[in-house]
Amino acid sequence: MKLLQKIFTVFIITLFLFPVFSYSQEAQEEKPVKIPEEVAKAMDANLPARQARLDIPLSFVDTLYFPYQNDYFTCFFLKVKNKDLGYISPFMEEQEKAKKTEKKEAEKGVEEEEQILSCNVDFFFRVYSLGKNGELKNIHKEIYLPYADQATSKEFKPEEESFYSFGTIFPPGRYLLSAAAASLDLSKIGLVFQEFNLPSPSDFKRNLGLTPLFFIKSIKRMPSPDSAINLYKNFFHYATLEIEPLFDHEFSQTEKLDIFYIILGGIPDENSRFSFEVTYIYKKGEEEVVKFEPQVLDNIPAPIVSIPLPLLFKEKKLDPGEYILEIVIKDKVGKKEVKETVNFVMK
């Protein structure tokens, strides 16, 4: 049974985000980078097959992009376990000895002595421009980002995975990112490759487009945007926003789907304002489970939307399982539209 549902709580943050969309900042400072010979050789050797190197196991989580003047501010997200970043402390050695010998005295000493664990890892990124058929053209840019962190022995969780993000500006086009994480002595090098494509404005002449859909865990305003490229743990910066995304897409009924996106290709009216009609639908397979009444966004200054969609309804319960959020957007001025989907799971 399909439920037609009104959106009672609507939080459209176009006014909050308008300075982000229109902000005219200087380009981020990018200092010349020379990738160490050992890392460059690993990149070159693994490039033809785009083969990962697992000395430090890395994996890509996602790539997000947002309009920035005529280009895109593009954010990359890498995932790695804490234990693979080389946190060092005598605590860990003592802990291993205690486990092997099973001496209660040693275990007690480990528990009582809280120590500081630290890691220092260098991240190197090389971005290649690709042709229409995926052929390599040239090295577009190289980036070096050192990373240092500390944690107490009590709070340190070796098996916990965190994601690490950085963002920079690219023109529309097709690219290949080579990402490397290396120990300071270069004895361990992790390497992974990922393609990404940034659409051209001509892609939206007939239809609208959306930036990649993602869910927000938290968001807050910063006093000013970053002036240089930085590496962040479990969040990212976009202009004057600090955003913690939610990548696992698993929700309980008391939570909300706080979806974030920017509409691409919208046509403003004579007053440079946008107007859209947006419909949100929850699907289970092909079945429409919940359909929200169309939401009219009239006379908004920028096509940026973040809205917390409810998952708890008096008339219907969403059973545990896999669902699809379908978003249908119609441009009331330009008469164009788009339909996009994102999966989520009810626990």
Residue ranges covered by each domain of the chain? 3-86+120-346
- Helix, strand, or coil (residue 107): helix
> What value does the mean pLDDT take over residues 52-63?
96
Considering the entire predicted model, what is its pTM?
Answer: 0.86
pLDDT, tens only, 125-172: 999 999 989 999 999 999 999 999 999 988 899 999 999 999 999 999
34 pLDDT tier (thresholds 50, 70, 90): confident
Q: What is the mean pLDDT of the chain?
A: 88
Residues 8, 314: contact at Cβ < 8 Å? Answer: no
Predicted local confidence at residue 96, as pLDDT: 56
Predicted local confidence at residue 79, as pLDDT: 97
Lowest-pLDDT range of 15-24, 62-71, 249-258: 15-24
Chain-centroid distance of CA 45 in Å reads: 28
Lowest-pLDDT range of 1-5, 75-79, 81-85, 295-299: 1-5
pLDDT, tens only, 292-320: 999 999 999 999 999 999 998 887 789 99
Would you say the C-alpha torsion 285, 247, 188, 83 has a positive or negative sign?
Answer: negative
Q: Spell out where 10-160 has E strands.
A: 53-54, 59-68, 71-81, 116-130, 136-152
| Residue found by looking up tokens 């220092």 in the block | 120
pLDDT, tens only, 117-138: 999 999 999 999 999 899 999 9
Predicted local confidence at residue 11, as pLDDT: 40
